[in-house]
Amino acid sequence: MRLLFMAGTGLTGNSCIYMVRLIISFFAGLLLSSVTNAQSRQDWADIFNRINDEVQQHSAAYKNLQAASENIGHRLTGSSEGSRAEDYVYELLKSYGLDVRYGPFEAESWSRGTLSVVINGKKYKAVALAHSPVKAAVSGKIVDMGNGLEEDYLKNPGLAKGNIVLASLGILPGSAGGLRNLHRSEKAALAIRYGAKGIILINSVPGDVLLTGTASVNGRLISVPAICIGNKDGMQLKKVLDKASATATIDMTNFSGKISARNVIGTMKGRGASGEKIVIGGHLDSWDLATGAIDNGIGSFAVIDIARAFKALNLQPERTVEFVLFMGEEQGLLGSKAYVKNVLNKGSADHTRYMLNLDMSNNPKGYLATTAEDEALFKEIGSMAKAIDSSFTNTFSSGFGLHSDHQPFMLRGIPTGSVSGSLSREALNCYHADCDVLGLVNEAELKNTVRFTAMLLYGLADTPVLNARRLSDNELKAALLQSGLKEALQISGDWRWDD
C-alpha cells in the first residue's frame, strides 16, 4: 500500500522518507487512539459501578431537599427565602470540596399581593400569573378564544380588542390534530397583541387546582392582568359563554422591583488542558405557592448530589465540569441567560461542549440531546448503565425544545442534553401549584436520576472525542425552522434572524 501511494508522485528520496514517517505516525496515532478508547471504556465500566454504589448507599439528595423544604420553604427569586436557598446550596457544594462561586445578576422581582375576580356577580377562586401589573382594575366582556393560539385569534381578529380573553392552558379536547401548544406567556403575549385588556387561563388539571407561573416572555411586567382559574370553573364558564354573555371584573395588586439574585456555580477542574467543559445545571428557584419539591427540587438537588458523588469518589474526567444552580428560571430563564451572556462576553462559548439540564427530571430510562451526532456515545454510556441496572432501558431521542435553562445555551448553538424519565400523575397535576410538596418526591427515583445522570456526565466529560459541535447562526436557524419553533421565538422576542 505504501508503494502504491508513493508511486508517480515525483517525490525525492528525502521527501519519500518524510511521507513514510507521516503515514507511520498517522496509523500509530489511530492505533494509540483505539487502545486509549478501549482502556477508557473499561475504566468507565469500573467508574460507573462505583458511582452506582456510592449513590445507592450514600445519596444525600433527598435529605438535602427535605432540609431545604422544611427550613427554607419556597425558593422564589428575589425573596428572602430565595436568598437563603442560594446560601444553602453554596455551603453544600463548598462542604463537598468544590471550587464554588456566585454568579450574580439583576432581575425584575415580582411577588403577588391581592386579587379579586368576579364573573357575572360570582367570586371566583383564582391566582395571579407572575409579571401581571403592579396594580390593575379592569372590567369587560369575556370572549372565548379556545386554545389561545394565533389561529384562534385569526378566525375573528377584532374579537379580543377591548375585552377579556378566556383561553385554555392546554390543548382542548376535540381540537384539530397536530396543533402545537404555546407557553402561557406566549398566550398572554398574543392576547395583548390583539388588544385584550386581560386574560383568564383555564388550568388543564381536573378539579380546582390553580397554576401559577410567569405570563411574561421577557421577565418584565406585562400591560394587562393575567390570571388562572381551575379547570372545573373554567369549563363551566365556557358552557355559559356558549349560550350567553359574561362580564368579569379583575382587581389586583402586586409588587415589582429590581433585585439581585445569584446563580451558584461549583467547578471541578478536568485533568486535560483543552479548556473544554461540560455544564450540568438545574434551576434552584421555585414559585411561592408551595416548596417546589418537584419543580425543581428534584432536578437541582440531583445536580448537587452528582457533585457530591464525584468528589466522594475523587473522579477527575478529561474535561472540566461546572455544576450550576440557576435562579430566575421561573421568571423567564433569567439566571441561565445571565450565565450565557457572561460566557459570550468572555468569548468562551466554544469551550462548552454540552449543557445538561435537569428540570423536573425523574427516574430516567434513557437520554436525550438536541443533536443526534453523539447518539452512539450516549447509547454506549446507556448500555453500561443498563448492564448495572436493567430498569434503565437505554432509549435515545434528539430534538429542540424551549422553556427551560437549556434554552439560552441552545439558542447560541451549544449542544444540550438531559435524561428522559417520568413523573406520577399526582406530581404532574401539582405543577406550579400549592400541592408541589416533598410528599410527591420518590426517594428511590431521585437516586435513579442522580446515578444515571452522573454516568452520562462522566462519559461526556471524559470521552476523547465529541462529535457534536457548536452550530453556526445559519445552521441554528435551519434547525429551529425544522423544529417549528420560529413562531414561539418570535412571540418571545428571541428570534434574531431577518427573513
* Same-domain status, 157 and 305: no
Is residue 484, in this structure, part of any structural domain at all?
no
Q: Mapped to the 3 state alphabet, what secondary structure does the chain carry?
A: CHHHHHCCCCCCHHHHHHHHHHHHHHHHHHHHHHHHHHHHHHHHHHHHHHHHHHHHHHCCHHHHHHHHHHHCCCCCCCCHHHHHHHHHHHHHHHHCCCEEEEEEEEEEEEEEEEEEEEECCEECCEEECECCCCEEEEEEEEEECCCCCHHHHHCCCCCCCCCEEEEECCCCCCCCCCCCCCCHHHHHHHHHHCCCCEEEEECCCCCCCCCCCECCCCCCCCCCCEEEECHHHHHHHHHHHHHCCCEEEEEEEEEEEEEEEEEEEEEECCCCCCCCEEEEEEECCCCCCCCCHHHHHHHHHHHHHHHHHHHHCCCCCCCEEEEEEECCCCCCCHHHHHHHHHHHHHCCHHHEEEEEECCCCCCCCEEEECCCCCHHHHHHHHHHHHHHCCCCCCEEEECCCCCCCCHHHHCCCCCEEEEECCCCHHHHHCCCCCCCCHHHCCHHHHHHHHHHHHHHHHHHHHCCCCCCCCCCHHHHHHHHHHCCCHHHHHHHCCCCCCC
* Same-domain status, 295 and 402: yes
* Same-domain status, 175 and 81: no
Is residue 162, in this structure, part of any structural domain at all?
yes
* Same-domain status, 142 and 189: yes
* Same-domain status, 177 and 298: no
Domain boundary among 219, 245, 271: 245
pTM, entire model: 0.88
* Same-domain status, 287 and 383: yes
Q: What is the pLDDT of residue 15?
A: 45
Q: What is the pLDDT of residue 3?
A: 29
What's the total number of domains in the chain? 2
* Same-domain status, 227 and 276: no
Domain boundary among 215, 245, 275: 245
Q: What is the pLDDT of residue 39?
A: 61
Q: What is the pLDDT of residue 218?
A: 84
Is residue 29, in this structure, part of any structural domain at all?
no
pLDDT tens, per residue, the chain with 499 residues = 332 322 333 444 444 444 444 444 444 444 444 444 666 788 999 999 999 999 999 999 999 999 999 999 999 999 999 999 999 999 999 999 999 999 999 987 889 999 999 999 999 999 999 999 999 999 999 999 999 999 999 999 999 999 999 999 999 999 999 999 999 999 999 999 999 999 999 999 999 999 999 999 988 899 999 999 999 999 999 999 999 999 999 999 999 999 899 999 999 999 999 999 999 999 999 999 999 999 999 999 999 999 999 999 999 999 999 999 999 999 889 999 999 999 999 999 999 999 999 999 999 999 999 999 999 999 999 999 999 999 999 999 999 999 999 999 999 999 999 999 999 999 999 999 999 999 999 999 999 999 999 999 999 999 999 999 999 999 999 999 999 999 999 988 999 998 7
* Same-domain status, 136 and 201: yes
* Same-domain status, 367 and 456: yes
* Same-domain status, 458 and 358: yes
* Same-domain status, 157 and 214: yes
* Same-domain status, 350 and 459: yes
Is residue 26, in this structure, part of any structural domain at all?
no
Residue 209's CATH number: 3.50.30.30
Domain boundary among 182, 213, 245: 245
Domain hosting 234: range is 121-245
